[in-house]
Structure 1
Amino acid sequence: MIEAELKARLADPDAVRSALAGRAEVEKAIYRDTYYDTPDGALDRAGRELRLRTVETPDLVRHLLTFKDPAVDEASGSKPEHETTVAAPTAVAHMLDALGYGASIAFTKDCENYRFSDGGREFLATVVRVPEIEGTFLEVETMAEEHDVDQALAAVRDLLGELGVAPAELTTELYSDAVRAARA
């Protein structure tokens, strides 16, 4: 499956939160992301991502191992995504390291997740703050088959418009790149 996703740096986060509150209840979460790569950065250069994520909500802590292939849509950065739940994240981190994939960057995201259906599609809208980056972001995603990516992205764009997000707010900046720049 492909994660058809668009991201925006919000001009008015409170207005977007208000619009989202009319669609779903918010689930607050902390994401602790660690990205892995080879010492020479081969995954990053190829547009691939290997991530171990811990998601902490008031009710649950879960761990996810995610691999993303290169983008199938350059304008949005939408990528095929393969993800599985992990029971022992420390063991997985050790295995990745032993296989030559060391931690290349780690950071935390404060997230507000809104899950809902619209127009026959399931959406996840996430309001994101990364403490090391200025601004508040919105990620809106829906899963799609490869033949359906254009339609899925059109649905995401329509939804962003309904939420009051202007096209000028869209960004393809990666959090990992922004955190690296902030730490430099």
Structure 2
Amino acid sequence: MIEAELKARVHAPEEMLRRLEERAGGRAEVYRDTDYDTSDRALEARDEELRVRTVHGPDDTRTVLTHKGAGVDEESGSKPEHETRVEDAEAVHAMLRGLGYVPAIAFEKRCRNYAFEARGRRMLATLVRLPEVDGTFLELETLVAEEDLPGALGDVRAVLAELGIRAEDLTRELYTDAVRARRGG
């Protein structure tokens, strides 16, 4: 499946929060992400990602292992995504290190997630703040088959517009790059 996703900078976070709450109840979660790569950054060179994410929610903690393939849409950066829930986060970290992967970066995201149906699609809107990065972001995504990507991205853009996001608010900036810049490397 392809994660048809667009990300935008949010200039009025309280207003966005209100608009999202009108669509669906939100769920506050803290993501602790560790991105892995080879020592020569081969995954990054191929535009791929390998991540272990531990999600701390109000009722549970879960860990997900994710691989994102190279982007299939230049404008949005949408990528094929494969993920699975794992029972033992420490074991997965140890396995990846044992296979020769090294932690490339680790950081925290504070999120509020909203799952809803729009334009005939299941969508997930995530309002994001990173303690190390200024600003608030909105991610809107839906999972689709590759042949449906153009239509899905059109629907994502339309829902973002309904939420008050303008084309000039969209960004392809990666959180990993923003965190690295903030840390001076």
In the superposition, the TM-score normalised over structure 2's length comes to 0.98
Determine the C-alpha separation between the residues in 2 that align with 1:133 and 1:40.
Answer: 26
Name segments (4+ residues, structure 1) moved above 4 Å: none
Partner amino acid for 1:167?
A
Deviation at 1:12, TM superposition (A): 1.1
SS in 1 for 2:23: coil
Runs of 5+ consecutive residues of structure 2 not aligned to the other structure = none
Provide the C-alpha distance between the structure 1 equivalents of 2:104 and 2:119, rounded to a whole number of angstroms.
Answer: 39
- Report the Cα distance in structure 1 between the residues aligned to 2:155 and 2:109, rounded to whole angstroms: 25
Letter in 1 for 2:102: G
RMSD between aligned residues: 0.5
Q: Equivalents in 1 of 2:105, 2:76: separation in Å?
A: 23
Are 1:71 and 1:80, in contact at CA under 8 Å, matched by a contact in 2? Answer: yes
- Structure 1 counterpart of 2:153: 153
Q: Percent identity?
A: 54
Match of 2:3, SS state, is: strand
The offset of 1:104, in angstroms, is 0.7
Tell me if 1:71 matches 2:84.
no
Q: Look up the match of 1:57.
A: 57
* Superposition pairs of residues 11-160 of structure 1, within 5 angstroms: 11-160=11-160
In structure 2, distance between residues paired with 1:170 and 1:119:
20
SS at match of 2:133: coil
Q: For residues 75 and 179 of structure 1, what CA distance do their matches in structure 2 show?
A: 22
1:25 aligned partner, one-letter code = G
- Partner SS state of residue 115, structure 1: strand
Matched residue of 1:176: which SS? helix
Tell me the SS of whatever aligns to 1:135: strand
**CA positional deviation for 1:17:** 1.1
1:11 CA displacement: 1.2
Offset of 1:40 from its aligned partner? 0.6
